[in-house]
Amino acid sequence: MESGPAIFAGMVFCLFGASLLAWTVTRVRQHRPVAHGVSPVASATVAGVVATLSLALGAWCFTRL
């Protein structure tokens, strides 16, 4: 009964993290800003960290099944 919410949360976190990581990598490779008005290095770093944490949180949710 408790596996349903864990699967849903894990999928949401993993999809968000993977999408954010793919978008950030694409923007950095094209030499475009990740966020407007912010240092390119700082914004890419923060987006990468948030994406990695989201993927880790999704993986943690899947271990709770």
CB 18 within 8 A of CB 64: no
CB 6 within 8 A of CB 62: yes
pLDDT category at 3 given cuts 50, 70, 90 is confident
Q: What is the mean pLDDT of residues 3-16?
A: 93
Half-sphere exposure of 20 (CA within 13 A, CB side): 20
CB 21 within 8 A of CB 15: no
pLDDT category at 1 given cuts 50, 70, 90 is low
State pLDDT tens for residues 11-35: 999 999 999 999 999 999 999 999 9
Q: What distance in Å separates the CA atoms of residue 42 and residue 50, rounded to the nearest whole number?
A: 12
pLDDT of residue 52 exceeding 70, the answer is: yes
Rg (CA), the chain: 14
pTM above 0.85, yes or no: yes
